[in-house]
Structure 1
Amino acid sequence: MTTFDSLSLPEAIRKGVEAVGFTQCTPIQTEALPLALAGKDVAGQAQTGSGKTAAFLIPLFVRLLSSRRPTLPGAPRALILAPTRELAVQILWDAELLGGFTDLTRLAVYGGVDYGKQRDALQQNVDILIGTPGRLIDYFKQGVYELSQVEVLVVDEADRMFDMGFIKDLRFLLRRLPPYHKRQSFLFSATLSFREMELSYEFMNNPIKVAISPEQVTVDKVEHVLFHVEKKEKFRLLRWLLQREAWQRILIFSNTRQGAERLTEKLIRCGFKADLISGSIDQRKRLRIIAKFKEGTLPILVATDVASRGLHVEGVSHVINYDIPQDPEDYVHRIGRTARAGAAGKAISLADEEYVLSLDAIEQYIGFKIPVQWPDESVFTPEVAVGAKAEARNSVRQGRKAK
């Protein structure tokens, strides 16, 4: 296994790597970093949570630090394209950590936050610009910034760009960059099918393809567990799991916004410290909630699939599918929030009568049957009935005493 010490990184970057606790490279980093640091273009296929963000950020920093080109106002030197605002924010956070000892300036632009504030910041000296295609094109057409000085291009989660219909926007931006032989480019994707490779050949300089375990859909350090349960009993089972499991930080997925809201309210009423993120929550508030989850002050986060991509939080010990996802790929993206960068994790799914029909497709997609476990019978003892019996017994006793 390659170590970061063996890569002979510049001092400022080495300090950033040490600050985040990286010592050994993950498989994608082992394959991609030597090529990228040698100046090659890389098209990488890797699972979510495999450490691919560091695989492109580190060589990006090295390239910019070694370049003598000055940073001009409104002319970023590196462009990182992400399909979602959550992923853009996550890349910015990672860049702040890994590049914290460099003097490289970083900015993320995306929808849902102060439009004017982002525009003003973009007109300043920005070394690394991270953003979603829509907001980037909006500012570009207004002449807020230019792309003529870009030395490094990164397209992250290219497969998601296609799935979300961003390919036209993506090509609009890429065609306005300097020629491919005058910049270094990286493309990362969960799959490198014909469409992703066609994009890389069109806009990259003879990219070297790096694929890590393409035959394995899920991370091997995730322990998968399945519980079959009636819908009306799901919350009791969840509460039992929260009391039984040795967890540090838990991400719970619901298929609907209304379901996530109801589940969060129940958890709070039972004394758990929990909050939720969904597409209907204001972006500023969503980012504050995610920040608390990252810091560890919020131990339980309930989310819809808006968080299944682009949410990278170290130390998520458990992912719980309170609802079985209806799309097999969503299962992989959800459980990819745990067991990140070589750590171990646990994925627990609760299959009720509403969503159990999606289970076969998920198991076919991941290539194995999810092991089934059964809870204690006491989990489903009707609490109301137990309480009523206790009250009845107390009433009888008090009646006898009165006699």
Structure 2
Amino acid sequence: MGDFEDEWLEHDEIQGAQAPAPRTYNNNSRVYRPSAGRGRGERGVRGRSNESNWRSRGNPAGGDYQNTRRDFPRREDGNKKSMYVSSQKIGRIIGKGGSKIRELESESQAKIKIGDSSGTETEVTLIGSDEAISKVEDLLNDLLQDYKPPPKENHNQSAGSGGSNEFFKTNESGVQVIDWDKLNNFHDQHQQERWENLPPIIKDFYKEDPEVAALTPAAIAHWRLANNDIQVKRTFDDKPGLKPIPNPVMTFEQAFKHYPEILDEIYKQGFTKPSPIQSQAWPILLRGEDLIGIAQTGTGKTLAFLLPALIHIEGQVIPREERDGPTVLIMAPTRELALQIDKEVSKYQYKGIKSVCLYGGGDRREQIKVVAKGVDIVIATPGRLNDLVMARHLNIINFSYIVLDEADRMLDMGFEPQIRKSLFDVRPDRQTVMTSATWPPGVRRLASSYMKDPIQVNVGSLDLAAVHTVTQKIMFVEEGDKEAVLLEFLNNMDPNDKVIIFCGKKATATHISTELAMKGIECQSLHGDRDQSDREEALADMVDGNVNILVATDVASRGIDIKDLTHVVNLDFPRHIEEYVHRVGRTGRAGKTGTALSFIARNDWAHARDLIKILEEANQDVPDELELMAQRFEAMKLRREKEGGGYGGRGGRGGRGRRDRY
């Protein structure tokens, strides 16, 4: 994953990792200002062992030390306690780049020092109050405990089956090989038996309002055209026997009049009428159909799938407290979007339904505790979800309503393997919802794998388009002049203006934040190199108005909802044109207007033609220089094709490693 796609992979525990070299950690203040680093010193790791147990050392007899380390007593000196850990497991405590040891220290308020190693074992010293040491011991015991799977039934043994040879056959060469046909048939039969033993799912909760049922095809077509040209169809083959696509609802009452508590929660939020995607999605989801919602960010997609999910949870046959696990799963690509959805869920109090947000960087042990206590909705990023499913803290077969939110973004970030691993065991009769801003081949492939006869709702064109409430401005700037132009822009901001400055790299975001702080301009930063707590604090500072400037990478291009954001500045043009659309969509939300200013340098010429299409679609001014830039890039491509050479995006040309420039 390149620098320009600044997304984090979630890695909670790196087993067997080597100890990191000494490094410095910054304690960031609430408002980003440069601060001196604080060293943590070396943590040596020498030697490895196959020993798997965490053991405390002690001499029960209280006598002298004996000749073997096994009889060394546990040493306690005031608020210090020493333990001995298999050297092979020290990597679990340290984590990648020291991330795990910092998390343990933060959660327990104890200090952890990695000491000398005997080769097979390493000394670990715990420092702090008695309470802190006790807590960190519990955390370490949980972390270092080896998972032992329960004994499996021997499905190969059956009367006359020949035992373990049942799934083997002899090929033409006389070699014994796996009989995959038999093995796959056995797996399918076993899965079918498991699914048949599950409780049935109730999915249809829709009672169509008489006014909605009376709408004529002409009236429906006129309404859909007037509301961003909504297109509704069956995504795949329209098989015979399927129900017709339901008519859209025009009011909240038409959708939820049989669920007055849901209506009360909607009224509390002060909404006046459903958004276009909600009007068409609610009848489809309440009827129990699978749905693919294609719409830009900020169009109300979250509420479109959330309210039917609440009704689905409460409407099942088995009471919530007697179910084997949560009922609804919502997957989101980034931590920020997952937290945004969790915040939205918390606004709607219905029948005591509880939710949990699972994401990397959060307290894994605490998340597991919340799940174990009982929740109804799980909101998760793919990495952490896959982690907990593989560790058997969650059983995916229990979910009957699954949402893949921002599916295109999850695929862009390379999360398809985690999604498929997590959903491998999902029951086939569940209800599935997928939302996306675009409709690329990867999303279609995912839809065909996990959805049954889905209805697709497109709000607006499937072509890439930016929201029309944003004024898009283009400024041609040399790479070295960007900082000065940005500073001039910030100095001319109104006191009430709020801006997100998007950078292509984490290092650039850090540099710009530091430079602004040194010039006395308060700001916050949001990127993958910051701790999760700092990222949440940065976003909270913007939402609360403590700062008006956020310097960010593309982790902030989706799932960030700052209602009074007035400006977006693209200091670096994004690597993919889709991210430009999402960046622009951070402003001009909920009917308000905004401004997006993009700095275009010479090496951005490969994006010129796509940018022109987006500007024209939104009726924005297209600078002549941008058109000229696009023509020159296309001419270069033709010349290279004739010469038999290739071309690319940013990079070089010829033997010097430099590419044709604008």
Which bin holds the TM-score, normalised by the shorter protein? Answer: 0.7 to 0.9
| Deviation of 1:243 (Å) | 4.5
| Deviation of 1:233 (Å) | 3.8
Alignment partner of 1:215 is 2:463: yes
Alignment partner of 1:357 is 2:576: no
Matches of 2:408 and 2:367 in 1, distance apart? Answer: 27
Matches of 2:260 and 2:500 in 1, distance apart? Answer: 36
Larger radius of gyration: 2
Alignment partner of 1:275 is 2:524: yes
Q: Describe the SS at the equivalent of 1:252.
A: strand
Match of 2:278 in 1: 29
**Percent identity between the aligned chains?**
34
Matches of 1:34 and 1:248 in 2, distance apart? Answer: 39
**Residues 177 and 356 of structure 1: is their aligned pair in 2 closer, same or farther, counting only changes over 3 Å?**
closer
* Alignment-mate amino acid for residue 302 of structure 2: T
- Alpha-carbon deviations, 1:144-202, whole Å to 9, x = none? 1223332311011112232223223222332322222xx32211112234442343233
The number of residue pairs the alignment matches comes to: 370
- Greater alpha carbon shift after TM alignment, 122-131 vs 148-157: 148-157
Alignment partner of 1:76 is 2:323: no
Matches of 2:273 and 2:562 in 1, distance apart? Answer: 19
* Alignment-mate amino acid for residue 205 of structure 1: K
Match of 1:16 in 2: 265
Alignment partner of 1:315 is 2:564: yes
Match of 1:67 in 2: 316
Alignment partner of 1:346 is 2:601: no
Matches of 1:371 and 1:270 in 2, distance apart? Answer: 34
How big is the alpha-carbon RMSD for the aligned residues of Structure 1 and Structure 2?
Answer: 2.6
| Deviation of 1:129 (Å) | 0.3
* Alignment-mate amino acid for residue 530 of structure 2: I
Match of 2:297 in 1: 48
- Greater alpha carbon shift after TM alignment, 255-264 vs 362-371: 362-371
Structure 2 unaligned residues grouped into runs of 5+: 1-226, 228-249, 625-662
Matches of 1:372 and 1:243 in 2, distance apart? Answer: 25
- Alpha-carbon deviations, 1:299-318, whole Å to 9, x = none? 21110112212323322221
C-alpha contact 1:328 1:362 (8 A) present in aligned 2: yes
Matches of 1:16 and 1:300 in 2, distance apart? Answer: 33
Match of 2:198 in 1: none
C-alpha contact 1:44 1:187 (8 A) present in aligned 2: yes
| Deviation of 1:334 (Å) | 1.1
| Deviation of 1:212 (Å) | 1.2
Matches of 1:107 and 1:254 in 2, distance apart? Answer: 31
Structure 1 unaligned residues grouped into runs of 5+: 374-403
Instruction: Work out which structure has the larger RCO, using CA pairs closer than 8 Å and 6 or more positions apart in sequence.
Output: 1
**Residues 342 and 5 of structure 1: is their aligned pair in 2 closer, same or farther, counting only changes over 3 Å?**
farther
TM-score, normalised relative to structure 1 = 0.83
Q: Describe the SS at the equivalent of 1:187.
A: strand
Q: Describe the SS at the equivalent of 2:385.
A: helix
Alignment partner of 1:286 is 2:558: no
Equivalent of 2:438, from 191, 205, 230?
Answer: 191
User: When you count helix as a share of all residues, which structure comes out higher?
Assistant: 1
| Deviation of 1:359 (Å) | 4.4
| Deviation of 1:92 (Å) | 1.0
C-alpha contact 2:386 2:419 (8 A) present in aligned 1: no
Match of 2:341 in 1: 91
Equivalent of 1:144, from 374, 385, 393?
Answer: 393
Matches of 2:498 and 2:324 in 1, distance apart? Answer: 40
- Greater alpha carbon shift after TM alignment, 170-179 vs 87-96: 170-179
- Alpha-carbon deviations, 1:33-76, whole Å to 9, x = none? 22222322211111122221111112112222333533357611
* Alignment-mate amino acid for residue 333 of structure 2: P
Q: Describe the SS at the equivalent of 1:107.
A: strand
C-alpha contact 1:264 1:276 (8 A) present in aligned 2: yes
Match of 2:475 in 1: 227
Runs of 4+, deviation exceeding 6 Å: none
Matches of 1:348 and 1:142 in 2, distance apart? Answer: 46
Q: Describe the SS at the equivalent of 2:427.
A: coil
Matches of 2:557 and 2:486 in 1, distance apart? Answer: 20
Alignment partner of 1:201 is 2:444: no
- Alpha-carbon deviations, 1:244-268, whole Å to 9, x = none? 4555321111112222122222333
**Residues 25 and 357 of structure 1: is their aligned pair in 2 closer, same or farther, counting only changes over 3 Å?**
same
**Residues 295 and 266 of structure 1: is their aligned pair in 2 closer, same or farther, counting only changes over 3 Å?**
same
- Greater alpha carbon shift after TM alignment, 357-366 vs 104-113: 357-366
C-alpha contact 1:249 1:315 (8 A) present in aligned 2: yes
Match of 1:177 in 2: 426
* Alignment-mate amino acid for residue 288 of structure 1: E
**Residues 318 and 372 of structure 1: is their aligned pair in 2 closer, same or farther, counting only changes over 3 Å?**
farther
- Alpha-carbon deviations, 1:343-383, whole Å to 9, x = none? 32211112244x4435414415526375459xxxxxxxxxx
**Residues 139 and 356 of structure 1: is their aligned pair in 2 closer, same or farther, counting only changes over 3 Å?**
closer
